[in-house]
C-alpha cells in the first residue's frame, strides 16, 4: 500500500475510509457526472453537501441553535484578525492568555488594531509554555469585549483541561488542533474556531462556531470577507467556498458519527495517548517537558537528553515507516501528533521504535 505513519502536526493524516471514498467518488459524485472539485457552489448537489456537513457537525458536537456554523477560508490565522475586527466593538478591550506561539500570534494580531486595549490575562512564557495557567493566575479586564485562549497548544503539547471563567466577556477559543478529538460544551464559548488541516479536512477550510448574539456590525473598515454577520447571513456562500474541503469534512463528520461520536473519539484518543505517555514516564532516556496535568492528547512533545541524538532519532524513524516526528523549530526535540486519524497501531509502532532506539543509544 505504501502508506506510512505520518505524525505531522498539520496538514496531517486523514482517515483511510475517507480517502478511499473520496477516491471512489472522484470522477462522479453521486451521479452528478463530475467531481465535487468541478461543481458549481450554487448547484443543488453542492448545497446538499454544505447542508449535510453543517447538520452533522451540529449533531456530533451538540451545537445549540443559538450558534451559527460558518465555513471560512484564510486558516486559523485569519481568525486572529477576524475575532478583534468583529468583537472589539464595545469597550475596545480584550484579554489574551498566552500559552504558546499561536496564542502569541493571535495576541500580536489584535495589537495591530489601533486605539484598543489588548491585555495579557495570563502567560506561562517564563516556564517555556510547559503548562497552562490556573484560573487564579488569570487577571481579567473588567468590561472586556472577549477573552481569547488557544485550547490545545500544537507546538508545546499542552491543553486546557478546564474551561476558564471569563466573567461577562465571551470566551473565544482556537481549537485548531483539538476540534472533534473529544466532546466540548459549546455553550461555554462565544466563538470556537479551527483550521481544518489538523483533525478535519485538507487545508483551506476554517470552521467557526459563533454565538448568534455576537453576529453584529464589525469595526468600521472591516472587509466583507471578514465580517461574520455578513458571511453568516449568506450561509457561508458569500463567495465561492472551499467546496472540496467541505466535502471531505462532511465525510469525516459522517465517520465520527458512525463510530460513536465524540465520546468514542475521546476514549480512543485517551487510550492512544496513554500508550505513549506511559512509556515516556517509564524511562529516563526520554524527557517529556509538559507538566502531567496539562498534557495534550493530540500533540506529544518529547526529546532525549542530547540534541544530536534527537536528530538521529528523527532521521532513523524516517527509515522505519514513520515521518514528521521532528519537533517544531522553536522547541526542538520530537513531537508526535496523534490526531483522530492516527491508528493505535501507529502509536504502538512508534513506542516500539523508541524502545529499540533507547536500547541501542541509552
Ligand atoms: C495550525 C494552527 C494554527 C494556524 O493555522 P493556519 O490554518 O495555518 O492559519 C493556529 N492555531 C493552532 C492552535 C494551530 O494548531
Predicted confidence at residue 1, as pLDDT, reads 56
Measured between alpha carbons, how far is 218 from 85 in angstroms, rounded to an integer? Answer: 6
Minimum CA distance residue for ligand 1 atom 14: 176
Predicted confidence at residue 2, as pLDDT, reads 81
HEC sequence for the chain: CCCCEECCCCCCCCCHHHHHHHHHCCCCCCCCCCCHHHCCCCCHHHHHHHHHHHHHHHHHHCCCCCEEEEEECCHHHHHHHHHHHHHCCCCCEEEEEECCHHHHHHHHHHHCCCCCEEEEEEECHHHCCCCCCCHHHCCCCCCCCEEEEECEECCCCEECCCCCCCCCCCEEEECCCCCCCCCCCHHHCCEEEEECCCCCCCCCCEEEEEEHHHCCCCCCCCCHHHCHHHHHHCCCCCCCCCHHHHHHHHHHHHHHHHCCHHHHHHHHHHHHHHHHHHHHHCCCCCECCCCHHHECCCEEEEECCCHHHHHHHHHHHHCCCEECCECCCCCCCEEEECCCCCCHHHHHHHHHHHHHHHHHHC
Minimum CA distance residue for ligand 1 atom 12: 176
Measured between alpha carbons, how far is 210 from 229 in angstroms, rounded to an integer? Answer: 10
Measured between alpha carbons, how far is 148 from 106 in angstroms, rounded to an integer? Answer: 8
Neighbours of 51 (CB within 10 A): 12
- Give the position of cell 497548544: 153
Ranges of the chain whose pLDDT falls below 70: 1
38-52 per-position pLDDT tens digit:
999 999 999 999 999
Query: Is residue 193 within 8 Å of 200, Cβ to Cβ?
Result: no
Minimum CA distance residue for ligand 1 atom 13: 176
Question: Which of 8, 72, 74, 75 has the most ligand 1 atoms within 8 A of CB, as the residue to mutate?
Answer: 75
Q: Given the CA of residue 150, which atom of ligand 1 is nearest to it?
A: 13
Measured between alpha carbons, how far is 351 from 320 in angstroms, rounded to an integer? Answer: 12
Q: Domains along the chain?
A: 5-16+260-361 (3.90.1150.10), 17-258 (3.40.640.10)
Query: Is residue 335 within 8 Å of 295, Cβ to Cβ?
Result: no
Dist. CA 207 → ligand 1 center (Å) = 12
Question: Which of 101, 106, 195 has the most ligand 1 atoms within 8 A of CB, as the residue to mutate?
Answer: 195
- Give the position of cell 524502545: 355
Set of cell numbers at residue 292:
502531567
Dist. CA 156 → ligand 1 center (Å) = 13
Residues 6 or more apart whose CB falls under 8 angstroms from that of 151 comprise: 159, 160, 173, 174, 175, 178
Measured between alpha carbons, how far is 165 from 188 in angstroms, rounded to an integer? Answer: 9
59-108 per-position pLDDT tens digit:
999 999 999 999 999 999 999 999 999 999 999 999 999 999 999 999 99
> Nearest Cα to 97, choosing from 174, 176, 190, 8?
174
Question: Which of 77, 201, 337 has the most ligand 1 atoms within 8 A of CB, as the residue to mutate?
Answer: 77
Dist. CA 282 → ligand 1 center (Å) = 32
What is the torsion angle, in degrees rounded to the nearest 10, for the CA atoms of residue 259, residue 263, residue 269 and residue 274?
-130
Residues 6 or more apart whose CB falls under 8 angstroms from that of 100 comprise: 129, 150, 153, 154, 155, 156, 158
Predicted confidence at residue 69, as pLDDT, reads 98
Set of cell numbers at residue 133:
495557567
Dist. CA 19 → ligand 1 center (Å) = 23
Strand duo 171-174 + 191-195: pairing: parallel
Strand duo 152-153 + 5-6: pairing: unpaired
Amino acid at each position: 500500500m505504501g502508506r506510512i505513519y505520518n505524525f505531522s502536526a498539520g496538514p496531517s493524516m486523514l482517515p483511510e475510509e475517507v480517502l478511499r471514498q473520496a477516491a471512489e467518488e472522484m470522477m462522479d459524485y453521486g451521479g452528478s457526472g463530475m467531481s465535487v472539485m468541478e461543481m458549481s457552489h450554487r448547484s443543488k448537489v453542492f448545497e446538499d453537501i454544505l447542508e449535510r456537513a453543517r447538520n452533522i457537525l451540529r449533531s456530533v458536537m451538540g451545537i445549540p441553535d443559538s450558534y451559527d456554523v460558518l465555513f471560512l477560508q484564510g486558516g486559523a490565522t485569519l481568525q486572529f484578525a477576524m475575532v478583534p475586527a468583529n468583537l472589539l466593538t464595545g469597550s475596545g478591550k480584550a484579554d489574551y492568555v498566552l500559552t504558546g506561539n499561536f496564542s502569541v500570534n493571535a495576541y500580536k494580531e489584535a495589537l495591530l488594531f489601533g486605539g484598543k486595549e489588548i491585555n495579557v490575562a495570563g502567560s506561562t512564557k517564563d516556564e517555556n509554555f510547559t503548562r497552562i495557567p490556573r484560573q487564579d493566575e488569570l487577571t481579567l479586564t473588567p468590561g472586556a469585549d472577549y477573552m481569547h485562549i488557544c485550547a490545545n497548544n500544537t507546538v508545546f503539547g499542552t491543553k486546557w483541561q478546564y474551561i476558564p471563567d471569563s466573567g461577562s466577556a465571551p470566551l473565544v477559543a482556537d481549537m485548531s488542533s483539538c476540534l472533534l478529538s473529544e466532546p466540548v460544551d459549546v455553550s461555554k464559548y462565544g466563538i470556537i474556531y479551527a483550521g481544518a488541516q489538523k483533525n478535519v479536512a485538507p487545508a483551506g477550510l476554517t470552521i467557526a462556531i459563533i454565538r448568534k448574539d455576537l453576529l453584529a456590525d464589525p469595526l468600521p473598515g472591516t472587509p466583507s470577507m471578514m465580517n461574520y454577520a455578513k458571511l453568516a447571513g449568506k450561509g457561508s456562500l458569500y463567495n465561492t467556498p472551499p467546496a472540496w474541503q467541505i466535502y471531505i469534512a462532511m465525510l469525516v463528520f459522517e465517520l465520527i458519527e458512525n463510530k460513536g461520536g465524540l465520546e468514542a473519539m475521546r476514549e480512543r484518543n485517551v487510550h492512544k495517548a496513554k500508550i505513549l505517555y506511559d512509556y515516556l514516564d517509564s524511562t529516563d532516556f526520554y524527557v517529556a517537558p509538559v507538566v502531567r496535568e496539562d498534557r495534550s492528547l493530540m500533540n506529544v512533545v518529547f526529546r532525549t537528553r542530547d540534541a544530536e541524538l534527537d536528530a538521529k532519532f528523527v532521521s532513523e524513524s524516517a527509515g522505519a515507516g514513520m515521518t514528521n516526528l521532528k519537533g517544531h523549530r522553536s522547541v526542538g526535540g520530537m513531537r508526535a501528533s496523534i490526531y483522530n486519524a492516527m491508528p493505535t497501531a501507529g502509536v504502538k509502532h512508534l513506542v516500539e521504535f523508541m524502545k529499540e532506539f533507547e536500547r541501542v543509544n541509552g
